[in-house]
Structure 1
Amino acid sequence: MVLAQLGGSISRAIQQMSNATIIDEKVLNECLNEITRALLQSDVQFKLVRDMQTNIKKIVNLDDLAAGHNKRKIIQQAIFNELCKMLDPGKPAFTPKKGKTSVVMFVGLQGSGKTTTCTKYAYYHQKKGWKPALVCADTFRAGAFDQLKQNATKAKIPFYGSYMESDPVKIAVEGVERFKKENCDLIIVDTSGRHKQEAALFEEMRQVSEATKPDLVIFVMDSSIGQAAFDQAQAFKQSVAVGAVIVTKMDGHAKGGGALSAVAATKSPVIFLGTWRAHG
């Protein structure tokens, strides 16, 4: 697993530093350079890595540390805190409550595995006693409704969509209204995949969000998107109130560091890591 490799590289760098007889500037720099290299190779955004390195150096001023201080411990703690800061948005994601209707809207780039992830998310909650339903507000991609219908039928989850209606806002509103009447407590709205450059699709996503007033917007991200993750995630966050991230295809050849960048860009926690297409 990608992030396990990254964790291993960071642990090794800290271990080497801890094994040094004398902890001086050279040893500290070597350790930080190793960690920096590992993060950049994993596709964490350069600015995030640079900021982390600067912050650690500010905290760990070797000249100021008296002889009695445990320098190893102080450096380890500083590294740990900075890595956590990168991943910790400072607030937990919204969690749906059983018996109380929640609307969750999924957004993301084309091909990120959004529709599959919607069904997995619904199925996960269904097994835990929720009454989920799926609404297909993706009128842009041919076959989107068919895919959602197939997934939902297989998982025995009610769904709503249309072959005739081309207005995603109308479908989203109708679907949400219908499932509220049917007392579903987790209504999941799937939207069209889009790219940062597509202004019209972003506007449409904003309208769907305004019309359905979701309790949570989840940004779905393919882990192989790499360095582009920060900019893409930020573009979504600027259009709709992203509150959580799901990273998909974690079992592919991806480096996974983009996930850390997406968390930093959206200030939202990663709530699930997805593997390839299968349900269950």
Structure 2
Amino acid sequence: MVLAQLGGSISRALQQMSNATVIDEKVLKECLNEITRALVQADVQFKLVCDMQTNIKKIVNLEDLAAGHDKRKIIQQAVFKELCKMLDAGKPSFTPKKGKPSVVMFVGLQGSGKTTTCTKYAYYHQKKGWKPALVCADTFRAGAFDQLKQNATKAKIPFYGSYMESDPVKIAVDGVERFKKENCDLIIVDTSGRHKQEAALFEEMRQVSEATKPDLVIFVMDSSIGQAAFDQAQAFKQSVAVGAVIVTKMDGHAKGGGALSAVAATKSPVIFIGTGEHMDEFEVFDVKPFVSRLLGMGDWSGFMDKIHEVVPMDQQPELLQKLSEGNFTLRIMYEQFQKILKMGPISQVFSMLPGFSAELMPKGREKESQAKIKRYMTMMDSMTNEELDSSNPKIMNESRIMRIARGAGRQVREVMEMLEEYKRLAKIWSKMKGLKFPKKGDMSALSRNMNAQQMGKVLPSQMLQQIGGMGGLQNLMKQMGSAKDMMGMFGDGN
């Protein structure tokens, strides 16, 4: 994700400032100049960047700070708050409710990824317990219905469209009525796009909107347009009541920062971002966790939500019990690999952990990491129950290793590599013995039940270094325990 380069640049600027013996005006200026350069390169509007720099200087008046103040923390908080302010539209969007039929209409220019995004949106809500349905009211683009039908079939979502009817309004009305009768509680209407903003597009959108009376209109926008996002979002808002925005193709464009800030300036809340072509490469956009992850500070609450999402409720006590006992078997490793693959893109999962920026898990190596996990699982499929359930690595003698390699169609050295990975994870797991793990969303409980020494042993050295060593970790955990929510350490907790 190119935006990770922006986050990496800002993180480095803050780290260099932290490493300075004395934080004075010169050090602060150098830090802010570096952040300014990174934001301008990400195509964020120059005026917004200048305003941000001015605001930070007002907040961080080094001369007025009394002795004993943590200047590094104050500067970090100021940068965090200003980035949040820049990307926050200041108002929430409509949220559909389960069991109550909601109509959501998608609009946008042709080529923005609108049809794919409709399916991603439906798939996301389907996993959360909604009963979505898709209606193709795009009669302008040849192949639009075929694409939506293919996507919907793959995601096992009901769909409606027509090869014969040319009136998009009639298709939209018929589809919405049909799915309301079938008790679908999230009816998504995909409308026509055009290559550019023109009167015919806006008139058609207005007619479909009047006929279907959507609860929410979502504008889908390609992130590569950068600062031009402001004019585009504004034009669509003036034609139909756009209530939310989804920004697509955030995995490959440096202009993503410009798109996000420009849309926020129109007071249109961004609700999701598309980070790739696959169905699960679709993230909820929540400003504070997003900025936190951008700066390499992690999103513990998001990470725990991911775990709770993929581990069934009836299995959670058993999993947490195994964690606290510290006994790690190959079967447990197999089960955890299954859960990691279900969570979605590995780099997305790791970016939620403090200190893990995309630089430590580059976008290009994501497929390689997933392939390795699948390879390990294939080898474990060739193991006996005795081997999978033993926590004694000495059980794996030469003859067993050769048998596993033959059964999995892999080389002996690959089985040895997998066993070394098991030993490494077992070592980390053993350090978690005796911990009490939090319920969903209660990350402060983790900081209360795990001291800094324990956490320091578990965290990779790179992560610990990014946090600021043991001292930084102690401060982080103290803040986690006292904040109203996970982001309280960076803002006022509201």
Give the TM-score taking structure 2 as reference length. Answer: 0.51
Counterparts of 1:165 and 1:69, CA distance in 2: 69
Tell me how far 1:186 sits from its aligned partner: 0.6
* Distance in 2 between residues matched to 1:104 and 1:196, nearest whole Å: 23
Instruction: Give the secondary structure class of the aligned counterpart of 2:135.
Output: strand
Instruction: State the distance in 1 between where 2:124 and 2:22 align.
Output: 51
Shift of the 219–197 alpha-carbon distance from structure 1 to 2, 3 Å rule, reads closer
Deviation at 1:35, TM superposition (A): 0.9
Match of residue 71 from structure 1: 71
Between the aligned partners of 1:170 and 1:45, the Cα distance in structure 2 is 42
- Residue 99 of structure 1, CA deviation: 1.0
1:8 is displaced (CA, Å) by: 1.2
The aligned runs of 1:1-280 (5 Å cut-off) are: 1-67=1-67, 69-194=69-194, 197-275=197-275
CA deviation after TM superposition for structure 1 residue 68, in Å: 5.1
Secondary structure at the aligned position of 2:136 is classed as strand
**C-alpha displacement at 1:38, in angstroms?**
0.8
> How far apart, in 1, do the equivalents of 2:115 and 2:72 lie?
47
Whether the 8 Å contact between 2:247 and 2:274 is mirrored in structure 1 is: yes
Structure 1 103/14 Cα, relative in aligned 2: closer, same or farther at 3 Å?
same
Q: Is the 8 A contact 1:233 1:265 kept in 2?
A: no
- Cα offset, 1:33, TM superposition: 1.5
**Counterpart of 1:220 in 2: which secondary structure?**
strand
Distance 1:145 1:37, change over 3 A: same
Question: Does the 8 A contact of 2:102 with 2:215 survive in 1?
Answer: yes
How much does 1:113 deviate? Answer: 0.9
| Superposed displacement of residue 207, structure 1 | 2.8
CA distance in structure 1 between the partners assigned to 2:50 and 2:203 by the alignment: 34
Q: 1:56 deviation in Å?
A: 1.8
TM-score normalised by L of structure 1: 0.87
Cα 1:208–1:160 change in 2 (3 A) is: same
2: CA distance between counterparts of 1:194 and 1:71?
A: 51
Shift, 1:187, TM fit: 0.2
> Are residues 34 and 194 of structure 1, via their aligned partners in 2, closer, same or farther at CA, if it must alter by over 3 Å?
farther
Closer/same/farther in 2, CA of residues 231 and 48 from structure 1, 3 Å limit: farther
**Alpha-carbon contact 1:119-1:151 (below 8 Å) kept:** yes
Deviation at 1:40, TM superposition (A): 1.6
**Which whole-Å CA distance do the structure 1 matches of 2:50 and 2:169 have between them?**
41
Post-superposition Cα deviations, 1:192-227, rounded to whole Å, max 9, x if no partner, equal 224663133123223322332222222222232223
Larger radius of gyration: 2
How many Å apart are 1:138 and its aligned residue? 1.4
**Stretch of structure 1 that moved more, 193-202 or 108-117:** 193-202
Q: Which has the higher contact order (CA 8 A, sep 6+)?
A: 1
For residues 28-69 of structure 1, what are the alpha-carbon distances to aligned partners after superposition, in whole Å with 9 as ceiling and x for unaligned?
A: 222111111111211222232222222223333344444554
Unaligned runs of 5+ in 1: none
In the alignment, the residues of structure 2 paired with residue 122 and residue 65 of structure 1 have an alpha-carbon distance, to the nearest angstrom, of 51
Unaligned runs of 5+ in 2: 276-493
Query: Among the aligned pairs, what percent are the same residue?
Result: 94
Q: Partner residue of 2:418?
A: none
How far off its partner does 1:232 sit? 1.7
Distance 1:16 1:41 in 2: 20
The 2-side partners of 1:89 and 1:270 are apart by 8
Q: Cα 1:258–1:170, aligned 2, differ >3 Å: closer, same or farther?
A: farther
Q: Give deviations 1:114-133, integer Å, cap 9, x for gaps.
A: 10111122122223332211
Report Cα offsets for 1:55-91 as digits up to 9, x if no partner.
2233333444445544333222211111111222333
More strand by share: 1
* 1:25 to 1:237, Cα distance in 2 relative to 1, 3 A: farther
Encode CA deviations 1:241-277: one digit per residue, 9 max, x unaligned.
33333232233355421342244134344333324xx
* Distance in 2, Cα, partners of 1:253 & 1:77: 27
Match of 2:245, SS state, is strand
Q: Contact 1:231–1:265 (CA<8 Å) still a contact in 2?
A: no
Number of aligned residue pairs: give it.
276
Instruction: Confirm or deny: 8 A CA contact 2:41 2:254 kept in the other structure.
Output: no
Cα distance change on mapping 1:184 and 1:51 into 2, 3 Å: same
Judged with a 3 Å threshold, the aligned counterparts in structure 2 of structure 1 residues 75 and 128 are, in CA distance, closer, same or farther, namely: closer
* Distance 1:77-1:253 versus aligned 2 partners, 3 A rule: closer
Comparing 35-44 with 170-179, greater Cα deviation is found at 170-179
Q: Tell me the CA shift for residue 111 of structure 1.
A: 0.6
Partners in 1 of 2:113 and 2:272 — Cα distance? 13
